[in-house]
Structure 1
Amino acid sequence: MILNEFSIDGAPYGVVEAAGEVWTTLVHTGLVATASGRVFNLDAPQSRPSVIVDGPDDAVWFTRNGDDRIGRISYDAAMSAVEIAGAPYGLCVGPDDALWCTLMSTDAIGRITVDGDVSTYPIGTTGAFPAMITSYGGDLWFTLNQANAIGRMTVDGAVSTYPLPTDAAGPVGISAGPDGVWFTELLASQVGRITTEGKIDEFAVPLDSKPHAVAATADGACWVTLWGAGAVARLDADGNITEQHPFGKDSEPHGLTAGSDNSIWVALEAGSLAQLHP
């Protein structure tokens, strides 16, 4: 495995590849930056930019968990934001080409069109703390961190929930693959996968490694950040760990994404972006 590392001040958290660049949110400084050295100041130091995605409109979009906004930066550097209450955190592009986000403090899912129209849909469970979200099979899938379940919502707002087999698992990350949806169980040291029929499988990762974010790959496998262990690991389509790379005890790996060249990019909150070439 070949590793490249790019130092970036400001606590990299989310990461995405878009327009030939790798973008990262700097959660503690209210900035967005790229691996090539571009820096975008949101003029909101407490905005806590978190999860970032490549939008359907030649722009990156990201949640601003600290000031109830969804931010947007176009490929040509125009910046804007849309207000949405509820501490937005997870974010994905939905099957309808709108942006869908989790609203952690209001137990709801938000929808934002590229024109800035906002709708919210309750998930129907109080205190569920919806975390990350992904699109799969025409629906939205999200982790319910405090309800110990996976949620599923149609684009019309109808909700189904799937309780996890393991108690108090603390699901966080989620990512759609070709054969189901991968998710992490931060408190149970497991990675799970759920099918459209609701079948859940769970796979062990190292004890106390606190799996946080997950990125599915086209071969049915996934990569996962092991926040507690300061590492990243690959699970094959059968849930076996086939690769593992340590970054160091205090590196704090969070978001990750699969690049167009099959490399894996990892945001290390300690101050860098890591690029792995398996």
Structure 2
Amino acid sequence: MNEFIDAGPVREFTVSDAEAGPYALAEGPDGALWFTLVHRDAVARRDPGDGRVTVHPVGDGPTVIARGPDGALWFTEYRAHRIGRITADGDYSSFAPLTPEGGPFGITAGPDGAMWFTLSSVDRVGRVTVDGRVTEYPAPGAFPSAITTGPDGALWCTLNQHNAVGRLTTDGHGTAYPLPTEGAAPVGITAGPDGALWFTEIGAGRIGRITVDGAITEYPLSDPAARPHAVTAGPDGALWFTEWGSGRVGRITVDGHVTSYALSRTDSEPHGIAEHDGALWCALETGSLARIEVQP
């Protein structure tokens, strides 16, 4: 599909019907943009040249997707309770965590050549090697959600129902850092360009920053009901995030200056966000991908 809406720095490309649910996305080793279709039980690829979309059936409820160290894309299958893997040519396989009915959600390439993922329903964090060997550790709090590798060589995750950010070493030692704001319900997290971790507070309408020694700063958004969801580091040295509640994409500098960009609809439900081809792209659950130009 090549239909698009052009609104200044924001362009939207239709990639599915409204029921398919584009949810998260990542740049693949082939230079294409890969994204999950959470309600279609599929992973799709958007060609970097002509924009053609190829859909690959996978397991039930593919959610967050990340590039692996083995040149494949790895993703969580939230409803199938499995971890999926797909190569650039569409070869699909999946692996079962040790704990059943775990609700895998976040996934990231770890510092140790393996993929790390959260099991949100059972308060655990898992590790899977590229050949499918799985280990698990207790999460440092309730409902671990997004996960990323920190600059300190540890795994950092949001603890959505613990109202905290968690740190887990590669040997399974966990620490929780409670957030100052009650009911913040953190979701997205990413390593920033400043040596800290940045995260979203979907329940409080704030963006948070935590240093590797646990010092937390929170930045309130102008719209408390924006419901910031996913966050990523951009090519411009700032952090970019989706505002699920307001249908916008936000940008915050490392010193806390916030700007935002409107999408075509306030109900477009932006979820995942990632850098691709020098711009920021986000998945709109209503059936499109949005591309936001980075301004000079």
Residue 61, structure 1, aligned to residue 74, structure 2: yes
Please list the CA deviations of residues 32-69 of structure 1 after superposition, one character each: whole Å capped at 9, or x if unmatched: 11223111012x4xx11000001111110000000111
Cα distance in 2, alignment partners of residues 219 and 162 from structure 1: 28
Question: How many residue pairs get matched?
Answer: 272
Question: What is the match of residue 49 of structure 1?
Answer: 62
**Counterpart in 1 of 2:22?**
12
CA contact (8 A) 1:16 1:52 kept: yes
* Cα distance in 1 between the residues matched to 2:278 and 2:213: 30
Give the structure 2 partner of residue 240 of structure 1.
257
| Superposition TM-score, scaled by structure 1 size | 0.95
Task: Give the equivalent residue in structure 2 for 1:83.
Answer: 96
Aligned 1:210-249 pairs, distance under 5 A: 210-217=227-234, 219-249=236-266
Q: Could you say what the CA RMSD is over the residues aligned between the two structures, in angstroms?
A: 1.2
1:151 to 151, 166, 172: 166
Structure 2 segments unaligned to the other structure (5+ residues): 1-7, 47-51
Q: Could you tell me whether the CA contact under 8 Å between 1:178 and 1:219 is conserved in 2?
A: no
Asked whether the equivalents of residues 92 and 135 of structure 1 are also in contact (C-alpha less than 8 Å), the reply is yes
Is 1:71 the equivalent of 2:84?
Answer: yes
From 189, 193, 210, the equivalent of 2:209 is 193
Query: Equivalent residue of 2:146, what SS?
Result: strand
In structure 2, give the amino acid aligned to 1:274. A
What SS class does the counterpart of residue 274 from structure 1 fall into?
strand
Shift of 1:88: 0.5
Look up the SS of the partner of 2:53 in the other structure: coil
**Match in the other structure for 2:110:** 94
Amino acid paired to 1:233: G
How far off is 1:246 after superposition? 3.0
Shift of 1:6: 1.9
Q: What secondary structure sits across from 1:38 in the alignment?
A: strand
Residues 194-239 of structure 1, C-alpha deviation per residue, up to 9 Å, x if partnerless? Answer: 0011111100112200000001235542001000001101111111
Q: Structure 2 CA distance, aligned partners of 1:110 and 1:145?
A: 17
Q: Does 1:208 align with 2:222?
A: no
How far off its partner does 1:177 sit? 1.1
- Comparing 181-190 with 247-256, greater Cα deviation is found at 247-256
Whole-Å separation in 2 of the counterparts to 1:124 and 1:164: 14
Compute the displacement of 1:124 (Å).
Answer: 4.6
User: Structure 2: which amino acid aligns with 1:240?
Assistant: H
| Aligned position for 1:253 | 270
**CA–CA distance in structure 1, aligned partners of residues 183 and 205 of structure 2:** 11
Whether 2:187 is the aligned partner of 1:177: answer no
TM superposition shift of 1:243: 3.8
1:21 equivalent to 2:38? Answer no
**Which is further off, 132-141 or 69-78?**
69-78
SS state at 1:121 partner? strand
Question: Structure 1 CA distance, aligned partners of 2:264 and 2:258?
Answer: 17
Identical-pair percentage: 48
Q: Distance in 2 between matches of 1:230 and 1:167?
A: 24
CA contact (8 A) 2:163 2:184 kept: yes
Comparing 155-164 and 77-86, the one that deviates more? 77-86
Matched, 1:140 2:147: no
In structure 2, what is the equivalent of residue 129 of structure 1? 143
Native 8 Å contact 1:177 1:218 kept in 2: no
Moved over 4 A (4+): none
Contact residue 68 and residue 88 of structure 1 kept, 8 A: yes
TM-score (norm 2): 0.89
Higher strand share: 1
Checking the alignment, whether the CA contact within 8 Å between 1:172 and 1:212 is kept in structure 2 is yes
2:44 and 2:81 map into 1 onto residues whose CA distance is: 20
